[in-house]
Chains A and B, each alone.
Chain A
Amino acid sequence: SQTIHQWPATLVQPVGSPLSLECTVEGTSNPNLYWYRQAAGRGLQLLFYSVGIGQISSEVPQNLSASRPQDRQFILSSKKLLLSDSGFYLCAWGPGQGVRGTDTQYFGPGTRLTVL
């Protein structure tokens, strides 16, 4: 069966510090991978998605970036955090071979980021 991991689970960082959040998927190959941000326990904002190694689509221009160095690894980064970057960051995966309408996305446990 497939599993998705995120770490760290919680993170407290000062404004202006760098960020690296990691997401890995087990039990599948060539997954589609996604980063979402959830503010204040409500709606989800899609940040990035990837359909393959080195292929990143950015949905929102901001001070965050994403990379996919390996097939089942997706990293969210920032060089300098802002207060507004605080939130709950969710990674998700879906079956590969391109994005199809019927594909379900499965979510990881999330990372709670607080920027002070």
Chain B
Amino acid sequence: AQSVAQPEDQVKVAEGNPLTVKCTYSVSGNPYLFWYVQYPNRGLQFLLKYITGDNLVKGSYGFEAEFNKSQTSFHLKKPSALVSDSALYFCAVRDVGNTPLVFGKGTRLSVIA
């Protein structure tokens, strides 16, 4: 069965510093990996996804994610954090088995001015 883990409940970074939100996955076939962001009392917003090809995926709001097959990871990154990036971030996975997305428990990102 497919699964995804976000090992950090919370990440704190200073504004202007680079940020990384970690995600590892487990699938039986080829993984399709997604990142979403959720602001308070809002639905999830799609940021980016990895399907195939280049291991570095660029997405919305300056975010990017790096796919690493050997480490089964898909970490979300941003070169310079903004206070407005403070939110809850979800990693999700689907394998070739054609099932709904399976989400991690989420990581709360706090960017401090």
Q: Provide the main secondary structure of the chain A interface.
A: loop
A contact residues around B90 at 8 Å (CB): 44
Residue from A99, A107, A108, A112 in contact with B99 in the complex, judged by beta carbons closer than 8 Å: A99
A contact residues around B102 at 8 Å (CB): 46
A contact residues around B106 at 8 Å (CB): 42-43
**Closest A residue by C-beta to B98:** A99
How big is chain A's contact interface, by range? 20 to 34
How big is chain B's contact interface, by range? 20 to 34
A31 at the interface (CB under 8 A from B): no
Q: Smallest Cβ distance from A43 to chain B, in angstroms?
A: 4
**Closest B residue by C-beta to A100:** B98
Q: Provide the main secondary structure of the chain B interface.
A: loop
Interface positions of A from 63 to 116, Cβ below 8 Å from B: 88, 90, 92, 98-110, 112
- The answer to whether A112 touches B95 (Cβ under 8 A) is no
**Closest A residue by C-beta to B45:** A107
Binds A, one of B18-26, B36-44, B60-68, B70-78: B36-44
Q: How far is the CA of A99 from the CA of B4 in the complex (A)?
A: 19
Q: How far is the CA of A111 from the CA of B51 in the complex (A)?
A: 31
- The answer to whether A41 touches B88 (Cβ under 8 A) is yes
Q: How far is the CA of A104 from the CA of B92 in the complex (A)?
A: 10
Selected A-B contacts with CB under 8 Å, 18 pairs: A36-B103, A44-B44, A44-B103, A49-B100, A98-B98, A99-B99, A101-B51, A101-B94, A101-B96, A102-B49, A103-B94, A105-B100, A106-B46, A107-B36, A107-B44, A109-B42, A109-B43, A112-B41
**What residues make up the interface of B, taking CB atoms closer than 8 Å to A?**
30, 32, 34, 36, 40-46, 49, 51, 88, 90, 92, 94-106
Q: A90-B44, A99-B99, A100-B98 are in contact. List 8 more A-B contacts (CB 8 A).
A: A43-B106, A92-B44, A101-B30, A102-B51, A106-B46, A110-B42, A110-B43, A112-B41
